Amino acid sequence: MHGPPLVGWLLVLLCAAAGGYCLAQVRTGPAAHRVAARGEALMGLGMAAMALPVSAVAAPWWSPWAFTAVFGAVGLWALTRRHGHHAVGALAMVHMALTMAAGQGADGHSADLTHAQHTAPGGAPLLTGLLLVYYIVFVLAAGVRLVPAAAVAADGPAPAAGPERPAMVRACQVAMGMAMFAMLLAL
């Protein structure tokens, strides 16, 4: 990821922690929770890998194409399973990976940052803008849904187990949504 290394490392830490937590949740709970946790874990760990600062880790020339292939397949899987949020997340990852590939020189190495900004300014601006709006709305809506669950747990008995996801998985979704927004801004 281009940008200040500190921001990149904070995004790596946030996404890896959220992805790791969701990965730990894959083995517990009902099947619907495990499927959601699996998708969130893949997105979190993939975002952590993509957010590594360019100045710290030289990514191989094929990494944008690997991200494109993996998250393209994830997006198709999410569409067949009717997981809209995971499909949008996979689309955003493919978009960022293709933008990374456009910023590479002919030899497969990262092109000069100013040259990359002129040839691919943030990828397709319309798609980047739509993804930014989606993630703003998603983070605000998901964050608002977290507040009542926390208030009920603090003021009364624990809510009955049901189809609702655990609050920590939802909090991870909010954190990763904010991270995705930051990564899209850094394009």
Residues ≥6 apart with Cβ < 8 Å to 145: 170
Is the pLDDT at 17 greater than 50? The verdict is: yes
Please, what's the largest Cα pairwise distance for the chain? 61
Q: Where are the domains of the chain?
A: 5-185
Q: Please, what's the b/e burial string for 92-121 (b: 16 or more CB within 10 A of its CB; e: otherwise)? A: bbbbbbbbbbebbeeeeebbeeeebeeebe
Q: How far is CA 92 from CA 6, 14, 73, 148, 183, in A?
A: 22, 18, 13, 29, 10
Instruction: Return mean pLDDT, the chain.
Output: 81
- pLDDT tens-place string over residues 129-148: 999 999 999 999 998 888 86
Q: Can you tell me the mean pLDDT for 65-76?
A: 94
Measured in Å, how far apart are the chain's first and last C-alpha atoms? 8
Q: Can you tell me the mean pLDDT for 102-126?
A: 55
- pLDDT tens-place string over residues 73-84: 999 999 998 989
Percent of the chain with pLDDT over 90: 41
Question: What predicted TM-score, i.e. pTM, was given to this entire model?
Answer: 0.79
Query: Which position has the higher pLDDT, 176 or 121?
Result: 176
Q: pLDDT category, 112, cuts 50, 70, 90? A: very low
DSSP secondary structure string for all residues of the chain:
--S-HHHHHHHHHHHHHHHHHHHHHTTSS-HHHHHHHHHHHHHHHHHHHHTS-TTT----TTHHHHHHHHHHHHHHHHHHTT-HHHHHHHHHHHHHHHHHHHTB-TTSSBPPHHHHHHHSTTSSHHHHHHHHHHHHHHHHHHHHHHHHHHHHHHHSSPPPPSSSPPHHHHHHHHHHHHHHHHHHHT-
- pLDDT tens-place string over residues 28-63: 877 877 888 888 899 999 999 998 887 777 778 898
